[in-house]
Amino acid sequence: AFSCTARASAPVHNLTVIGSGLMGAGIAQVSAQTGHNVTLVDMTNELLQRAEQRIKGSVERVAKKQFKEDPKAQSDFASQTLSRIKYMVDVEKSVGSDCDLLIEAIIENMKIKQNLFSKLDKVAPSSTIFTSNTSSLSITEMASVTGRADRFGGLHFFNPVAVMKLVEVVRIAGTSDATFDTLTSYVTAVKKTPVCCKDTPGFIVNRLLVPYLAEAMRLLERGDASARDIDTAMKLGAGYPMGPIELADYVGLDVNKFVLDGWHKKFPDNPLFAPSETLNKLVDEGKLGVKTGEGFYKYD
């Protein structure tokens, strides 16, 4: 086992985040809040405009919290943060000669991620470190389509990025010490706590969290307890901020299903990764949780 200690390393000044969804927008935000210059990329200007609005809303919440009684400091912090983010639809132009770090946060699909990395490997400066924010896929498989396995790793943030304090730094076999040190220092620079682990399915958090959420769904499916009681039990009896059923809705039932199905296919004999009928049914019906207004629960 190895631990996560940041040693002196090349700092990250400029980074490119590909995918401006829930996670990419959050990663861009916390990086800009801490003085980094960010280029945020997505497929259309409409998607980027939506991301910009979400970032603005979240930065204002953070500013209010950080500078409670000082409206001028709040608006300075917000405008400086927002001015550090550039928006771009051209992926290949988004990794300029000064790009220190690339963080991929697009759709959770290996082929699409590999396609992106292989394209970027040809145009990015050789010094740029490549990383993925994947929840469940192998970083090693992504790095294999590039010629920079030594400058490749995982940076796994948590939702909501502005609030959650952890980032998992994932080392593949080829990740160099210099790359690892730069990634760990970047995590510290964005005011998050790094933990590190090998490229194992689900890393640390999801390897424990996904089977726990699935087990809560199975408890519900058997009719052993109601969703509300399962959630209340884990909040008040185990000190979790959200119960497992509401957390599944919060993460997105499609995301839960995708991760569980992927692992079940790879490790069919592991009962922790067995599919859940209720989860499959809700996803079929388009009830994906908070983001669609209904999952296990209904939302206004």
Contact yes or no for 124/41 (Cβ under 8 A): no
Of 156, 246, 256, 276, which residue is the catalytic one?
156
The token pair at 114 is 């590999």
CB closer to ligand NAD out of 23 and 102: 23
Q: Tell me if residue 168 is catalytic.
A: yes
Contact yes or no for 183/157 (Cβ under 8 A): no
Q: Tell me if residue 264 is catalytic.
A: no
* Residue 108 binds: one of ligand CAA, ligand NAD, none (C-beta under 5 to 8 A by kind): ligand NAD
Shortest distance, position 205 Cβ to ligand CAA, whole Å: 6
Bridge partners for 103 per DSSP = 17, 131
The token pair at 258 is 């995708």
Residue 55, classified by CB atoms within 10 Å of its CB into exposed (0-12), middle (13-18) or buried (19+), is buried
CB closer to ligand CAA out of 101 and 253: 253
Contact mark string toward ligand NAD, 156..175, x via CB under 6 A: -xxx----------------
22 annotated ligand binder: yes
# binding residues, ligand NAD (CB under 6 A) = 27
Residue 60, classified by CB atoms within 10 Å of its CB into exposed (0-12), middle (13-18) or buried (19+), is middle
Shortest distance, position 28 Cβ to ligand CAA, whole Å: 13
- In this structure, the dihedral spanned by the alpha carbons of residues 99, 105, 108 and 111, taken in order and rounded to 10 degrees, is -20
- The continuous run of DSSP H or E covering 111 comes out as helix 110-123
Long-range contacts of 274-280 (CB under 8 A, 24+ apart): 274/214, 274/218, 276/214, 276/217, 276/218, 276/221, 277/221, 278/217, 278/220, 278/221, 279/214, 279/217, 279/248, 279/253
Which of the stretches 22-30, 241-249, 262-270, 273-281 binds ligand NAD when contact is defined by CB under 6 A? Answer: 22-30
Q: Interaction with ligand NAD in 240-279: which residues (CB under 6 A)?
A: 251-252, 255
Q: Tell me if residue 280 is catalytic.
A: no
Q: Interaction with ligand NAD in 31-70: which residues (CB under 6 A)?
A: 41-43, 47
**Numbered residues of the known binding site for NAD(+):** 19-24, 42, 108, 113, 135, 159, 291
By CB under 6 A, name the binding residues for ligand NAD. 18-24, 41-43, 47, 91, 105-108, 112, 116, 133-135, 157-159, 251-252, 255
Q: Which residues are catalytic?
A: 135, 156, 168, 206
